[in-house]
Chains A and B, each alone.
Chain A
Amino acid sequence: MTAADAHSSPASPDARAAQNASPSPAPPASGAPPAGGRAPGPSGGRRGAARLGAARETGVLLALLLLVAGTTLANSRFLSAQSVKDILLGAAVMVVLAAGQTLVVVTRNIDLSVGSVLGLAAFATGKLFVAQPGAPLPLALLVGLALGAACGLLNGALIAAARVPALVITLGTLYVFRGLDHSWASGEQINAADMPHGFLDFGTATVLGVPVLALIAAAVLLAVGVFLGSYRTGRELYAIGSEPTAARLSGIRVGRRVFLAFVISGALAGLAGVLHAARFGTVDATVGTGMELQVVAAVVVGGVAIFGGSGTAYGAALGALLLTTIGSALTVLRVDPFWQQAVDGGLILAAICLDRVLALRGTRRARAKEAPHGA
């Protein structure tokens, strides 16, 4: 399974949209006579909606392809195996974080603590290998996941208990986790030399030219994508973000579901921390600082509505890939790295404006369709 496969998984809305994209506005084959009541509403809504969602992801994909093509034209080395491998390695950590963040954002929440959780898990990994150079790799992954899940558990519990917006809670835990990290590390840096070779090899190993880290990220992405798309619990997360009151009325255990989303987001941030440590080999207490905002940016650019209810993990992953690729492209094009942040910011604004325009157009069209059948 590669990332490319994940995008065309049958569960993904892209695929659904493609199936439904037939232009015929025929009513459903319900077989029932329309009983002479109100004319059946034109069923363009579904296609429109699905197309809109798919358009968003296709748009990001298109931007990505254009970027790659343009940069390659300017510098053919951009598409070299090494360069592609670097981009995939860089994106892997972001994709894992973005998948977790998507779970939270679709419920109309946000997890700002992921950067700190990643840092904490990365440092824990380093410590683990310093203490137990022979520790097996799965143990490291497990430690990262568990540590992250514990952090997510704290986030979720605080949000449920305090009934305060997640933005505020996770802003608090962002500093708490970072503080713990700093006091634990107390200035210490763990270098690649202190890490066992097996672990460092894991960070750079490839299967058929694809980095193992990217494969792990793709697997995580696929799992989250399928969970969100085709499982009841996943759909309930969308329902919660789409209309919280209705979610409560229809018997969804809103608190429990949001809690779950934060635990998974934390666990994935922990996993990302281990991957980060494996990739760079050097960890200190500042690892992952500021990463939470990059992840939120990736998620938003990828078409996940910041007010919840729509968007997919695949889109978020594309967003992460796009932002990572822009970073590499700017380096290859010898653009001052300071510009990267400006470009990222512009991209977020463009994505939000695009969503707003599409949404407005959508509702207006829907209204225009509904209005005439008065009289």
Chain B
Amino acid sequence: MAGSAIAPPLLHLRDVTKSFGPVAAVRGVSLPLYPGEAHALVGENGAGKSTLVKMLAGVHRPDAGHVELDGRPVALADPAAARAAGIAVIHQEPTLFPDLTVAENIFMGRQPTGRLGRIDRAAMEGAAARLFARLGVALDPGRQARGLSIADQQLTEIAKALSVDARVFVMDEPTAALSGIEAERLFSVTRGLCERGAAVLFISHRFEEVFALCRRVTVLRDGRLVSTGLVADVTVDTVVRRMVGREVSALYPREPGAGAARGEVVLDVRGLGRRGVFEDISFTVRAGEIVALAGLVGAGRSEVVRAVFGVDRHDAGEVRVRGRRLPPGSPAAAVAAGLALVPEDRRRQGLVMELSVQRNAALTRLRHLARLGLLSARRERRFAAEWAGRLRVRHGGLGDPVGTLSGGNQQKLVLAKWLATGPRVLIVDEPTRGIDVGSKAEVHRIISRLAAEGLAVLMVSSELPEVLGMADRVLVMREGRITAELPRAEATEESVMFAATGQREVRA
């Protein structure tokens, strides 16, 4: 342990492991959090950070290992137990009650009470207002949480964590949706917490924040601990290299000749808008090109592709596929025109989990596979075997339910299902979310091979390395608008983040 006369850790994760089905999200991670300092936890999306957070929050229980508080093991059986142990968590995705007021959201279960145990609303709203004042934001504590912007939701979450008289603060990307000034405010509040002896676990993708705020940094990769140590001993470069663990170019292989032979414009989106969600979205995708739609969670990327595909109606602009205008709000017309959408949530929108591998693969081609309206099991089986082989889907048997496949193989099956329709444009929303690294590379290889074969690909992704490694062009969205269009050569982590957050680089 470096540092002079350091106190014992306030909270200590010891060899914790957590698996979800076949995927080990966290494997044997130990992590000490010392009083009075902020500890950064970095890693790519899917490295296991959020799983670690959820174990501290009492949402998940470790399969092995345990958590120590003040040197004594504690069982964080549920969120209430975690809170009682003095752990306050800011979750990555805001967890608010839309029907209740902001103040109630902050103090739920801990509302100040007056006579006869009745909630003292005035006191509650006053306390909330003081919290917001501390954070330097003017948010009305008495308004309903429904309709709050992502940033305001985030601020409410932060206020909630501050309102608990906690000793350990866990912040899972608290600044993701904040402006520079709001983030700066949060840092000074965090420093104040540390001065009062609190331990902070701080998760962020923004290295300038990590280096400015934290004393220690721990790097996770694929659920394992790569390194942990003082921030002073590392540079951004070393941290990034440890996070990725390999050269970006090796991880995201583009087929030779990719991006060279660009075909004609296949997908042409002009001035697309949906009131209050996104506006003035214009872009094109050419045959053989991979265009990435990057941005922060909540920027409206998925909403745009849903509107392009016709799942949602747009109320301005138009979508043309090979020059032909698509009727708004009709996925059937989109499929007929050669569009295919691989949705973000494959478990709910991409596959029918209870059905067999073969039935799922054939779902988009039922008419083609049927004779006289009756589905031939033999043809279905042959068809599914062919596609599963082509995309190297590893499965027990074609008759097994899809739910038994790993995430990566499920995703490949969704791809197969749509590729079978012979699309001209493939839209993939978060193609590698929640799948293991090996399958990720395979999905990437498949997508870039498809592009090389002349398919136009529109990819929504929250993973910057994926965006930078795969895309020929990067469109960056922020709060419902496209704020930058970057060709591959100009797209860097900084340029994309700049456009996505609308903030200047703090780091020199």
**B302 to chain A: closest CB distance in Å?**
16
Q: Given contacts A28-B129, A36-B181, are A249 and B478 in contact (CB under 8 A)?
A: no
Question: A309, B96: Cβ atoms under 8 Å?
Answer: no
Question: B144, A242: Cβ atoms under 8 Å?
Answer: no
- Residues 135-165 of A, flagged 1 when their CB comes within 8 A of B and 0 if not, give 0000000000000000000000000000000
Question: B80, A249: Cβ atoms under 8 Å?
Answer: no
Any B CB within 8 A of the CB of A375: yes
Name the prevailing secondary structure of the A interface residues: helix
- Residues 90-134 of B, flagged 1 when their CB comes within 8 A of A and 0 if not, give 010001111111001000111101000111010001000110111
Q: Given contacts A232-B111, A242-B97, are A370 and B276 in contact (CB under 8 A)?
A: yes
Any B CB within 8 A of the CB of A11: yes
Question: A38, B140: Cβ atoms under 8 Å?
Answer: no
Contacts of B109 in A (CB 8 A): 232, 236, 250-252
Question: A250, B108: Cβ atoms under 8 Å?
Answer: yes
* Contact size range, A: 35 or more
Contacting A251 at CB < 8 Å: which of B78, B100, B138?
B78
Any B CB within 8 A of the CB of A35: yes
Binds A, one of B147-155, B211-219, B234-242, B451-459: B147-155
Q: Which of A101-129 contact B (CB under 8 A)?
A: none
Any A CB within 8 A of the CB of B185: yes
Question: B479, A38: Cβ atoms under 8 Å?
Answer: no
Q: Given contacts A239-B97, A243-B95, A243-B98, are A362 and B140 in contact (CB under 8 A)?
A: no
A43→B138 CA distance, assembly (Å): 10
Contacts of A43 in B (CB 8 A): 140, 142-143
Any A CB within 8 A of the CB of B306: no
Q: Given contacts A235-B111, A236-B109, A375-B481, are A38 and B133 in contact (CB under 8 A)?
A: no
Any A CB within 8 A of the CB of B407: no
Question: B97, A32: Cβ atoms under 8 Å?
Answer: no
Contacts of B134 in A (CB 8 A): 32
Any B CB within 8 A of the CB of A77: no
A362→B276 CA distance, assembly (Å): 12
Contacting B97 at CB < 8 Å: which of A37, A247, A366, A375?
A247
Question: B148, A41: Cβ atoms under 8 Å?
Answer: yes
Query: Which A residues fall within an 8 A CB radius of B?
Result: 11, 16, 20, 27-38, 40-41, 43-50, 226, 230-232, 235-236, 238-239, 241-243, 245-253, 305, 309-310, 362-371, 373-375
Give 20 CB contacts A-B under 8 Å: A28-B140, A30-B129, A30-B132, A32-B137, A35-B182, A37-B185, A38-B151, A41-B139, A43-B142, A49-B144, A231-B118, A232-B119, A236-B109, A238-B97, A251-B78, A251-B79, A251-B82, A251-B83, A363-B276, A371-B479
If A31-B133, A245-B95 are given as contacts, then 9 extra A-B residue pairs at C-beta distance below 8 Å, sorted by A number, are: A16-B121, A45-B144, A45-B147, A46-B144, A49-B146, A239-B108, A305-B99, A309-B100, A368-B275
Query: Which B residues fall within an 8 A CB radius of A?
Result: 57-59, 78-83, 91, 95-101, 104, 108-111, 113, 117-119, 121, 125, 129-130, 132-134, 136-144, 146-149, 151-152, 160, 179, 181-182, 185, 275-277, 279, 478-481, 502
